[in-house]
């Protein structure tokens, strides 16, 4: 009996160890010629990677995009069900020239150029800009100079702070001794680091293309086409432009909703307050836009999606009821005040810049207090008063019917049937 248990235990341990080896094993990697891009997606630069299995590249037309042809190690990652690149294992530039063909005709031959990405609000601040050639080198030089100046200021700050501590110690010592101390020493100000960031200068093919279907290929020093670099290139654009809205309900300000299409109806339960944040938006083909930043993702070619690009500025929102203008609202700053004490909750208040000139708003938005009844239409207008196309949305408050009335009304057919039955019985 004990022998059976021992054999079973050995088999179980062996099975567990073998499963650990299977699941912990590194996926097999294969050398491939791939495309690594930095593409403009309307808001920022995305960095898609095109393995050999992806035969079509998607870019946004009329915007400069960055193309690199690389030799790297490619492996399939089953968790995300996509091919990945091991750039640390192998990252080798391939090719000397990139050709773009329209049909059988070569319409562009591109050499590698210097480029940098400039982040005006820091790496995570958005608003990324692409610079090439001499402008790229100048931007990098500007950033290096700013960083060098900052570290010199930091070094001086620590020296000044050490001197400040000595003077402060002497100041308090003279006070304790009852001697004249003069004015209290002033603490030195900390230097401010540069708010912008610039990447290192790199080399790649940088160009833009009009809307169309192309063929792209890389050539070596001898002018021969490199195998595995021939791909279809689709440059696409948006179909329509409009204004989309991120909507913050006062009752749940941390859970904003969206209204991207003119057919979307905004429902508000009873009366309440809604805060609207308008965005410029473009409408793209779903398949093309999905493939732009995630080449291995899916998408429907017969479907269109609105994409928020940037906050719409210098606009007003007009509110109509039965074609009559009832309100024109402006964008204002607001802050959220937590209710003190054990009670949970918050209040959203207007930030008065005169009263709090240095305070920071939690968000800026257009505030509209929705009446309990009626239908309302929201429209964005530009600084000249013109209505912005595809900016209209309908707002409808949801009214709640007293359930007791429904309950009473449900007895109507029964009562009517009973009356008819009695009349017929009496008539006999």
Instruction: For the chain, 428 residues long, give each residue's pLDDT as a single digit of tens.
Output: 555 555 555 655 555 544 444 445 678 999 999 999 999 999 899 999 999 999 999 999 999 999 999 999 999 999 989 999 999 999 999 999 999 999 999 999 999 999 999 999 888 888 899 999 999 999 999 999 999 999 999 999 999 999 999 998 998 888 888 888 788 999 999 999 999 999 999 999 999 999 999 999 999 999 999 999 999 999 999 999 999 999 999 988 888 999 999 999 998 877 789 999 999 999 999 999 999 999 999 889 999 999 999 999 999 999 999 889 999 999 999 999 887 766 567 889 999 888 887 888 999 999 999 998 889 999 999 999 999 999 999 999 887 655 565 666 666 677 677 777 677 666 65
Q: Are the C-beta atoms of 368 and 274 separated by less than 8 Å?
A: yes
Indicate if 212 and 337 belong to the same structural domain.
no
Phi, psi of 128 (to 5 degrees): -60, 140
Is 362 inside any structural domain? yes
- Which residues have CB under 8 Å from 266's CB, separation 6+? 247, 257, 259, 274, 378, 393, 394, 395, 396
Is 151 inside any structural domain? no
How confident is the model at residue 127, as a pLDDT?
87
Question: What CA–CA distance (Å, rounded) separates 214 from 209?
Answer: 9
How confident is the model at residue 22, as a pLDDT?
44
Query: How many CA atoms within 13 Å lie on the side-chain side of 92?
Result: 10
Please write the tens of the pLDDT for every residue from 235-263.
999 999 999 999 999 988 888 999 999 99
DSSP per residue, 348-370: EEE--TTT-TT---SEEEEEEEE
Indicate if 254 and 269 belong to the same structural domain.
yes
Phi-psi region of 205 (alpha: psi -120 to 50; beta: other; left: phi over 0): beta
Instruction: Look up tokens 């809307």; give the residue.
Output: 211
Residue 364 structural domain: 240-402
Q: In terms of Cα–Cα distance, which of 284, 331, 312 is closest to 388? A: 312
How confident is the model at residue 20, as a pLDDT?
43
Is 195 inside any structural domain? no
Task: Report CA Rg, the chain.
Answer: 33
How confident is the model at residue 272, as a pLDDT?
86
Indicate if 228 and 275 belong to the same structural domain.
no
Is 424 inside any structural domain? no
Indicate if 209 and 64 belong to the same structural domain.
yes
Token pair of 203 as six digits = 């080399």
How far, rounded to the nearest angstrom, does the alpha carbon of residue 89 sit from its chain's CA centroid?
30
Indicate if 216 and 251 belong to the same structural domain.
no
Number of domains the chain contains: 2
């Amino acid at each position: 009996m004990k022998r059976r248990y021992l054999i079973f235990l050995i088999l179980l341990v062996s099975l567990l160890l073998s499963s650990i080896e299977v699941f912990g094993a590194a996926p097999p990697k294969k050398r491939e010629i791939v495309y690594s891009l930095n593409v403009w997606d309307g808001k920022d630069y995305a960095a898609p990677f095109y393995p050999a299995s992806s035969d079509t590249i998607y870019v946004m037309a009329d915007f400069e995009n960055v193309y690199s042809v690389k030799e790297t190690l490619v492996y399939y990652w089953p968790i995300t069900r996509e091919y990945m690149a091991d750039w640390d294992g192998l990252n080798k530039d391939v090719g000397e020239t990139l050709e773009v063909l329209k049909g059988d005709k070569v319409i562009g031959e591109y050499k590698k150029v210097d480029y940098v990405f400039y982040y005006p609000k820091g790496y995570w601040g958005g608003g990324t800009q692409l610079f090439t050639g001499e402008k790229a080198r100048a931007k990098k030089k500007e950033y290096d100079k700013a960083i060098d100046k900052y570290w010199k200021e930091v070094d001086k700050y620590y020296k000044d702070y050490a001197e400040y501590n000595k003077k402060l110690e002497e100041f308090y010592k003279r006070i304790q001794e009852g001697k004249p101390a003069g004015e209290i020493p002033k603490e030195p100000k900390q230097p401010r680091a540069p708010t912008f960031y610039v990447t290192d200068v790199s080399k790649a093919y940088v160009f833009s293309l009009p809307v169309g279907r192309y063929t792209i290929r890389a050539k070596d020093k001898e002018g021969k086409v490199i195998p595995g670099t021939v791909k279809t290139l689709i440059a696409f654009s948006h179909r329509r432009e409009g204004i989309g809205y991120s909507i913050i309900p006062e009752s749940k300000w941390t859970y904003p909703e969206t209204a991207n299409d003119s057919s979307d109806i905004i429902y508000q339960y009873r009366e309440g307050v809604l805060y609207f944040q308008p965005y410029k938006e473009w409408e793209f083909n779903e398949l093309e836009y999905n493939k732009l930043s995630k080449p291995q993702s899916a998408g429907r070619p017969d479907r269109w999606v609105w994409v928020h690009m940037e906050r719409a500025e210098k606009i007003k929102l007009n509110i109509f009821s039965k074609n009559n203008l009832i309100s024109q609202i402006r964008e204002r700053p607001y802050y959220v005040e937590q209710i003190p004490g054990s009670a949970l909750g918050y209040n959203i208040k207007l930030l008065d810049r005169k009263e709090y000139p240095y305070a920071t708003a939690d968000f800026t938005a257009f505030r509209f207090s929705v009446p309990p009844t009626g239908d309302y239409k929201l429209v964005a207008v530009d600084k000249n008063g013109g209505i912005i196309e595809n900016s209209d949305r309908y707002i409808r408050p949801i009214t709640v019917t007293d359930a007791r009335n429904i309950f009473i009304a449900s007895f109507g057919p029964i009562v009517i049937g009973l009356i008819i039955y009695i009349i017929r019985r009496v008539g006999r």
